[in-house]
Amino acid sequence: MTSEPRASTPEMRLKRLHERLGGIAYGGDYNPEQWPREVWEEDVRLMKEAGVNLVTLAVFSWSRLETADGIYDFGWLDQIMGLLHENGVGVDLATPDAVPPAWLVAQHPDILPVLADGTTFGFGSRQHFDVSHPAYRAKSLAMAEKMGERYAGHPALCMWHVNNEYGPVSYGPHADRAFREWLQQKYSSLDDLNTAWSTDVWGQVYSDWAQVNAPAQPRTWSNPTRRLDYHRFTSDSMLAHYKAERDILRRHTPDLPIVTNFMRFYKNNDYWAWAAEEDAAALDIYPDPREEDAHVAAALNFDLMRSLRKGQPWLVMEQATAAVSQWSVNVSKLPGKMRLGSYQAIAQGADSILFFQWRQAKGGTERFHSGMVNHAGPNTRVFREVCELGRELKELGGITGTRSAAKVAVVFDWDCWWALELGNSPRSDLNYTQEVLRLYRPFFDANIPVDFVNTASDLSQYSLVVLPASYLLSDDAVQRFENYVAGGGRLVASYLSGIVDPDNTIRLGGYPGALRNVLGAWSEEMHPLAGEGEEVKISTADGGTASANYWTEHLHTEKADVLASYASGRLAGSPAVTRNTFGKGTAVYLSARVDGTFLEDLLAAERAAAGIRPELDAPLGVQVRRRTGNGRSYLLVLNHNDAPARVDVKAGGADRLTGNAVRGTVELAAHGVLVIEEPTESNPAETAR
């Protein structure tokens, strides 16, 4: 990471932001350039009515800020920033390089990214750039310099937002060049590259660096390690561009937070590496209202954001008030669901609630994407809910900066994701994020807080660690897991873990090769189940029954105890689930995709043995999380059910949303929320205001 002045750390910058805003950041993307000047006055009046304290400006404004090469026009931006400041609204100012203007593309047509199939991604959308193109880089950095110089001292400026949803991958000539340079830094010689990529397979040996290029789409299959390295390269190259802009802005404004926005389950960028270079993780989150359990996948993403910077509060940068416009059927959120989703993010560590966008566009691609002010204007259900949420959030200023604690860690690692889904494996339809979600959900349903870690993380603070399909493991990671278990930790690993090394080369000697020692078991052959809906029976050591589908393995034990065996199919009689004592700890191996009930019971037994208990005993669908710090403790209770639910909140405290004292058994309305400030020794909170 870039060294920073001791007086300015990410935590300090975020603290100053929230002090300046008076608590939780509330607002969203604002695109005044889409509207005539007379609308601006109405906008700021409605923002004050809604309790908005922060808006994101200029995300898509490059063509308005630089109207031709070197011809800048900041007049309109000066005016709107002044108007916002006069009305008490802060600005998260974006660098607009997610949308290179038409004049720049006309000058340099090869800025447009080349897709894997060799076609060009044309102008007329967004993120139409090859991040390796020298003209794109030069012009975008020049814009960052201009904006930094001009607005460093502006009283409205609260933070910076670099680019937007980084992600375009190019396979064109500029990417070829940059990829070769990246490889030359990683590998000391072509011989090392040929060894790492196993190029003797299919005769792909390189004899000159000039022969190496981006892995564009082949006629059939292509080298998996080459493709894995290209994933790594594209993430690194986009991150390098972010850092270059960040460093320019940091020089002008050393005390302001700088972020870019991440996306839900986004594969192209390794967010562990990215988050280390940002002042906060920031997420764009759009759960599909058609999915009854969309809040569970959202919860996983929220916990991941909180974990990326080791528990530091994170930012919701975008969500929708009602409907979005990217799906085939765009259902609007039911009344109360926008509020509930916002509090869910806060419960899981968010210190901002921002939307895309403030005013719903009347034209363009996202004209049917809802806003805080929709097409019908402010006299609507949505705007009334926006205003009510704004009023409530003003009562929660003390929650900013508080954190959550977890004793369970789930591994989420981009190298594993990339390597696992490259194809040429026994199952090319395997979805890494769904494997992670399967092993995360039982903890969510049981109200057990979860941190996410990657394969390089320190595990010492956790009592239970879960590895979902952790396909690629380095020797250092293997040693870290062995040391963790030997020291008394409990490990649960699923199938397709520990299969390959960082060069995507199979570890020999039986699967899962890297973890064979700690698991005390090994598989001689993988047996994915072929038929749609095909399953096999499983018998447990205590006489119970279960089932498995999708995946099985021919497993042998060395030291491990058998918890369950296959009871039907070609592997009948062979172990299916094992537990091994290793040093002072234990390691469980799931060689099959077991049914949900068996998985829930197994994980419940493991967490109980580790002494891990929920914050409260609550009905299914009621989420409970605690945030503590700064002498305060907040218990958030959220009812995701469509019917009321009764919850015993024990000693309780003061509900910050109503001012009422709550204790004992309470009834939460459908989609209802409690934010209880609990008495602490340093802050004996009043039971009511």
Indicate if 318 belongs to the active site. yes
The DSSP element (H or E) to which 624 belongs, if any, is: strand 622-629
pLDDT band at 1 (very low <50, low <70, confident <90, very high): very low
Whether residue 689 is predicted with pLDDT greater than 50 in this model: the reply is no
- Look at residue 592 in the predicted model and tell me its pLDDT: 97
| Catalytic position from the list 66, 165, 385, 435 | 165
319-371 pLDDT tens trace: 999 999 988 999 999 999 999 999 999 999 999 999 999 999 999 999 999 99
- Look at residue 67 in the predicted model and tell me its pLDDT: 98
Residue range 572-598: average pLDDT? Answer: 98
Whether residue 497 is predicted with pLDDT greater than 70 in this model: the reply is yes
- Alpha-carbon span 110 to 106, nearest angstrom: 9
Residue range 239-258: average pLDDT? Answer: 98
- Look at residue 2 in the predicted model and tell me its pLDDT: 45
Whether residue 524 is predicted with pLDDT greater than 70 in this model: the reply is yes
pLDDT band at 425 (very low <50, low <70, confident <90, very high): confident
DSSP letters, 462-526, are -SEEEESS--B--HHHHHHHHHHHHTT-EEEEESS-S-B-TTSPBPSSSBSGGGHHHHTEEEEEE
- Look at residue 327 in the predicted model and tell me its pLDDT: 87
- Look at residue 5 in the predicted model and tell me its pLDDT: 46
- Look at residue 684 in the predicted model and tell me its pLDDT: 67
- Look at residue 124 in the predicted model and tell me its pLDDT: 85
| Catalytic position from the list 245, 278, 318, 678 | 318
Residue range 463-490: average pLDDT? Answer: 98
The residue type of 308 is L
- Is the CB of residue 470 less than 8 Å from the CB of residue 418? no
184-229 pLDDT tens trace: 999 999 999 999 999 999 999 999 999 999 998 776 788 999 999 9
Residue range 578-599: average pLDDT? Answer: 98
Which residue in this structure is represented by tokens 């020794």?
681
Indicate if 165 belongs to the active site. yes
User: CB 521: neighbour CB atoms within 10 A?
Assistant: 27
My answer on whether omega of the bond before 357 falls inside 30° of 0, hence cis, is yes
Whether residue 294 is predicted with pLDDT greater than 80 in this model: the reply is yes
- Angle at which helix 381-393 crosses helix 337-347, to 10 degrees, equals 30
Residue range 565-583: average pLDDT? Answer: 98
Task: Give the least confident one: 139-153, 219-233, 260-274, 568-582.
Answer: 219-233
- Look at residue 424 in the predicted model and tell me its pLDDT: 77
143-162 pLDDT tens trace: 999 999 999 999 999 999 99
Residue range 169-179: average pLDDT? Answer: 95
Could you give the domains of the chain? Answer: 10-174+217-399 (3.20.20.80), 408-609 (3.40.50.880), 622-678 (2.60.40.1180)
46-81 pLDDT tens trace: 999 999 999 999 999 999 999 999 999 999 999 999
List 585's β-bridge partners, or say none: 582
- Look at residue 219 in the predicted model and tell me its pLDDT: 67
Helix, strand, or coil (residue 266): coil
- Is the CB of residue 277 less than 8 Å from the CB of residue 246? yes
